[in-house]
Amino acid sequence: MKKTLLSVFLILLGGVLYAQDISVKGTVTSASDGTPIPGVTISIKDVPGKGTATDLDGHYSISVGSDQSLVFSFIGMQPQTIAVTGQTVIDVVLASSTQNIEELVVIGYGVQKKSLLTSSIAKISSSEIEKSNPLRVEQALQGKTAGVQVISNSGQPGEGFTVRIRGIGTTGDSNPLYIVDGMPVGGIDFLNPNDVESIEVLKDASATAIYGARGANGVVLMTTKQGKKGKIAVNYDFSYSIQNAWKKVSLLNAPEYAMIMNESYANDNSPIPFSDVPSLLSTVGNGTDWQDEIFYKNAPALSHQFSVSGGNDASTFLSSFAYTTQDGIVAKGKSNYERFSYRINSAHHTGIFSFGNNLVFINKKTRGIDPNAEFSSPLSKAVNMDPLTPVRNADGSWGASSYATQEVVNPVAYLSVLNSEYRENKVVGDVWAQLEPLQGLKVKSAFGIDLANGFTRTFIPVYDLGGNVKATVSQASAGNDRWFTWQNETTISYSKVIAKHSFSAIAGMTANSYRNDNVGGSKTNLLFNDFGHGYINNGTDEESYKSYGGASEHALLSYFARGNYVFNDKYIIEGVFRADGSSNFGSNNRFGFFPALSAGWVLTKESFMESIPSVSFLKLRFGWGQNGNESIGGFKYTSVIGAGSKYTFGTGEVITVGANPVGVSNPDLRWETSEQTNIGIDSRFLNDKVSLGVNLYQKDTKDLLVVAPIPAFVGNGAPTVNGGSVRNRGVELELGYKTMVRDISFDVNLSGGYNKNEVMSIDNSEGKIYGAGVAVGMYNVCMAEVGQPIAYFWGYKTNGIFQNQSQILAHTSTDGTVLQPNAKPGDLIWVDRNDDGKIDDKDRTNIGNPYPTFTAGFSFNAQFKGFDFNMFWYGAFGQDIYSGTRRYDLPMSNWESSVLDRWTGEGTSNSQPRVTIADPNQNYFRVSDFYVHDGSFLRLKNLTLGYTIPETISQRIKISKLRLYVSSTNLLTITKYKGSDPEIGAKGSLDVGIDRNIYPQAHTFIFGLNLSF
């Protein structure tokens, strides 16, 4: 008995001794060149939070159970799991990872291995998003994906971006389709960038055809972060920013202004306005710098991000809260943005059944000014206001100009009377359930909503700022909008691998419904004269009360299918078909059908490539497909009845208010269809250190929507018809390089895209579609016309400046007619393009293109020990800007300092004409290439330096990670453009690249931290 007990005791003791921790050490090296790898993470499997990292020489030492396993992982390397089994020395060789090729990419209604993609799809990961510290998700797209142009509409907080994928293909709505976690949304300003796991940009038709009627302008898929199995992870991110204008427009000061104005009047033989300049300047000095007066120096921005995530085999969850506030660099207190967001994502699994949700709530508040306008913008007033007027008079009242007129008034005073605010509550999300009755067979159904309520409130006090900027009675107005979209989507998918053959297919249907309701009103003569009390109920003039209300609807019913076949991971073929029925079209063309076909060939799987070891991966792709654009507005196919028309009946000719058709119907109206062909190459070289991607594409948009010509006696508006086409051709390039030099790892990425846009046909009477103008008299600056790009600048060409009278008389047409007999030396020389002996609209032509010929992004990332460095440049080249900053219809508006180089005598200038108030030659009044400037720029968008404290310290203070960083945005801009900012987005498809005194982007310094528990 004693022997038996002793034996059991010794066995147990041996087990305990065997299970005790032992010290394991070793070296981790690279398989490619044998060099040691510093910073490799060594963790103990099944013991979360316990681990170490290799030092500068690749050495490590860790205490571990003799029966446990170690996991070795490093960015860009294949992780390894090694059982200790009593070993005290374990040396590890890590091979380069094929993650870039084998990673999963989100596609329409599924995922696909990147190596097997046959379409042109670009992916941006959460790590790339975090490097740019964006306030909006669109900023993370800028310069990161070839062929995608992202331009800020202005620098105002909360302002959107112009996003164009492979050019612009329509004169209508040219925005891409945004889909967040499977739910199509109208915009993505509600998204917290920290919540985004990945962004996929579907660029060619073979990728977007599965979205049919809404995919013609490209598709942007956003997947939000999900919880992961393991211990609960807690993350907190904080940043504080200081913002300033990166530059000011160079304007005339008081002495220069007085000189130029006197000269302008003298050139017209008119009395000069400032007869005693020295006396004037003794009072005003250099005058008022109105830009300085309205800019907000060191405007702050603040961001808090907090998330908790975790889970197990049955359930995972992620919950996040974010708060962001940003003041604008213009109009302190009147231009700002504030957003709260809360997200809860979860997924649950039990047997063959899974279900989950993705849900986010957003509350935002914005106050803003008009960011790019010639009449109502404070920036326009600041640029055009004379520098002689003070901000305030000696008695404290607002300074009022004796020279500026109409809308050009004291901009500081104008800001004081601007009172408006917009608030919005929004819920976006879905619930889903999935059944997998057989291996590979999945049935999934999801129901999603996008519900928003927006409330606008405006208060106008009693004021008189001079000119026509005044209000004799106070007024309060308010409006409420409710937008609701619901979508039900059901899919069935099946995948199967048989030997070297891989099959997958998906089919589904979608029902989508949208409705907008709006109501509002206004009232005057308020009891109070401040914004805090600026509510309609405080109005006292009952007769002034006005109200309005309305609604709009839209519905879409869709069926789609996709099939994919892969042989030996070498040959891939895929087909897509979608049918969409839209309420925007009549019964004659209610449904549209959109097919696509693509194929791929992985050449590195072929035996003949084995003799070229420097090529790690090489794939050829081909894709063709069709998409539609149904975003044309409702009821264009029928004749809508409009109320408010007046007519007289009977002998008494009594005016009766009634309703009548407002346009001619067109029941045959159909989709704009985009057909695209794409050829691409994906490749990697030198053990995956170098990557190269190339795409060539042609995208033809057909059945463009135009207004048909009809006789005037019809009496109604002309119908919308299909009658135009646009072509975009381009090349995209993506080049990357990553390596490690001793203990420094770095990667470099360059992306670039060339695009040529051309209108092929416009089937209306003129073959033209007229676009936006500027201020007073400069009509139709933008134009769409056959043989030209959409929204090109349409105006007069000049050929220098007349230097003397003989040159004026020598400027004749072929028949000897003097073209500008009333011109004077110093005036612009107009080009008579059609040689008809006169200068008129028939001489207007293409004087500029607002879209870049080439866009590029360059990023450099490096890591050394705990330090990380990121630099990102973005450039756009070949685009023009039309400068509509000066109010030339108002004679005493201030000038940009370039006027100091004006013509003052023979030989003094051949580009800047003489100054004049009357302007008989219309040097300044005509739309001409005098206003067109090179808008190319190269901008250092982001520069970041971070430091992560060593793991030994973080473990000691009970945290997983602490990273501190400093960053700067828009640190440097290289451009020839003299305006406030070369990044000018689109106000519409035919209103692009016009600078009406754009709200400039901010130069920002950011201080932040990332903390994980």
pLDDT digits (tens, 9 = 90+) for 842-889: 999 999 999 999 999 999 999 998 999 999 999 999 999 999 999 999
* Average pLDDT value over all residues in the chain: 91
Q: What is the pLDDT of residues 702-719, one digit of tens each?
A: 998 877 766 665 667 778
Instruction: Give the pLDDT band of residue 60 (cuts 50, 70, 90).
Output: confident
Structure tokens given for 837 = 């002996």
Residue 17 burial (CB count, 10 A): 9
The whole-number pLDDT of residue 6 equals 41
The whole-number pLDDT of residue 1 equals 44
The residue extents of the domains of the chain are 20-94, 104-230, 374-417, 419-583
Mean pLDDT calculated for residue range 89-115: 78
pLDDT reading at 830 higher than 50: yes
Among the ranges given (182-196, 470-484, 816-830), the one the predictor scored with the smallest mean pLDDT: 182-196
Mean pLDDT calculated for residue range 636-646: 79
Terminal CA-CA length for the chain: 53
Q: What is the pLDDT of residues 384-409, one digit of tens each?
A: 999 999 999 999 999 999 998 899 99
**Can you tell me the distance from the alpha carbon of 109 to that of 444, in angstroms, rounded to the nearest whole number?**
10
C-alpha 486, offset from chain centre: 25
The whole-number pLDDT of residue 709 equals 66
**Can you tell me the distance from the alpha carbon of 648 to that of 804, in angstroms, rounded to the nearest whole number?**
62
Contact 505, 566 (CB under 8 A): no
Mean pLDDT calculated for residue range 343-363: 96
Structure tokens given for 661 = 């058709």
Closest alpha carbon to 939 in 965, 916, 914, 969: 969
**Can you tell me the distance from the alpha carbon of 834 to that of 816, in angstroms, rounded to the nearest whole number?**
14
Contact 803, 905 (CB under 8 A): no
Q: What is the pLDDT of residues 505-559, one digit of tens each?
A: 999 999 999 999 999 999 999 999 899 999 999 999 999 999 999 999 999 999 9
Contact 661, 668 (CB under 8 A): no
DSSP secondary structure string for all residues of 231-291: EEEEEEEEEEEEEEES----B--HHHHHHHHHHHHHHTT---S-S-HHHHHHHHTT---HH
Q: Give the per-residue SS3 of 537-555.
A: HHEEEEEEEEEEEEEEEEE
The CA-based dihedral angle spanning residues 891, 893, 897, 900, taken in that order and rounded to the nearest 10 degrees:
20
Contact 986, 153 (CB under 8 A): yes
Q: What is the pLDDT of residues 927-984, one digit of tens each?
A: 999 999 999 999 999 999 999 999 888 888 889 899 999 999 999 999 999 999 999 9
**Can you tell me the distance from the alpha carbon of 134 to that of 434, in angstroms, rounded to the nearest whole number?**
34
Q: Which helix (H) or strand (E) holds 566?
A: strand 539-567
Q: What is the pLDDT of residues 882-918, one digit of tens each?
A: 999 999 999 899 999 999 999 999 999 999 999 999 9
More confident site: 843 or 143? 843
**Can you tell me the distance from the alpha carbon of 53 to that of 955, in angstroms, rounded to the nearest whole number?**
13
pLDDT reading at 689 higher than 60: yes
More confident site: 609 or 77? 609
**Can you tell me the distance from the alpha carbon of 820 to that of 926, in angstroms, rounded to the nearest whole number?**
14
C-alpha 786, offset from chain centre: 28
Q: Which helix (H) or strand (E) holds 411?
A: helix 411-416
The whole-number pLDDT of residue 658 equals 81
Closest alpha carbon to 246 in 984, 945, 968, 1008: 968
As a residue count, the chain comes to: 1013
Structure tokens given for 354 = 């899974």
The whole-number pLDDT of residue 713 equals 57
Structure tokens given for 45 = 């499997």
Structure tokens given for 278 = 């020295």
Find where tokens 């009675």 sit: 473
What is the chain's percent helix, strand, coil content, to nearest 5?
15, 50, 35
Q: Which residues contact 902 (CB under 8 A, 6 or more apart)?
A: 260, 826, 908, 909, 912, 913, 914, 915
Q: What is the pLDDT of residues 4-31, one digit of tens each?
A: 444 433 333 333 333 468 889 888 888 7
The whole-number pLDDT of residue 522 equals 97
The CA-based dihedral angle spanning residues 467, 469, 470, 471, taken in that order and rounded to the nearest 10 degrees:
150
% of the chain surpassing 90 pLDDT: 74
3-state secondary structure of 952: helix
Task: Please state the φ and ψ torsions of residue 443, each to the nearest 5 degrees.
Answer: -120, 120
**Can you tell me the distance from the alpha carbon of 571 to that of 187, in angstroms, rounded to the nearest whole number?**
38
3-state secondary structure of 747: strand
Among the ranges given (55-64, 344-353, 430-439, 614-623), the one the predictor scored with the smallest mean pLDDT: 55-64
Q: What is the pLDDT of residues 514-524, one digit of tens each?
A: 999 999 999 99
Q: Which residues contact 706 (CB under 8 A, 6 or more apart)?
A: 171, 720, 721, 722, 723, 724, 762, 763, 764, 769
Q: Which residues contact 845 (CB under 8 A, 6 or more apart)?
A: 794, 795, 796, 797, 833
Task: State the architecture of 104-230 in CATH terms.
Answer: Beta Complex (2.170)
**Can you tell me the distance from the alpha carbon of 181 to that of 448, in angstroms, rounded to the nearest whole number?**
9
Beta bridge partners of 452: 426, 483
Mean pLDDT calculated for residue range 310-321: 94
The whole-number pLDDT of residue 450 equals 97
Closest alpha carbon to 141 in 61, 196, 72: 196
Among the ranges given (30-34, 687-691, 827-831), the one the predictor scored with the smallest mean pLDDT: 30-34
Superfamily of domain 20-94: Carboxypeptidase-like, regulatory domain (2.60.40.1120)
The whole-number pLDDT of residue 764 equals 83
Contact 50, 231 (CB under 8 A): no
More confident site: 778 or 635? 778
β-pair type (880-883, 641-649) = unpaired
The CA-based dihedral angle spanning residues 658, 659, 662, 667, taken in that order and rounded to the nearest 10 degrees:
-160
Among the ranges given (340-344, 761-765, 858-862), the one the predictor scored with the smallest mean pLDDT: 761-765
The whole-number pLDDT of residue 33 equals 62
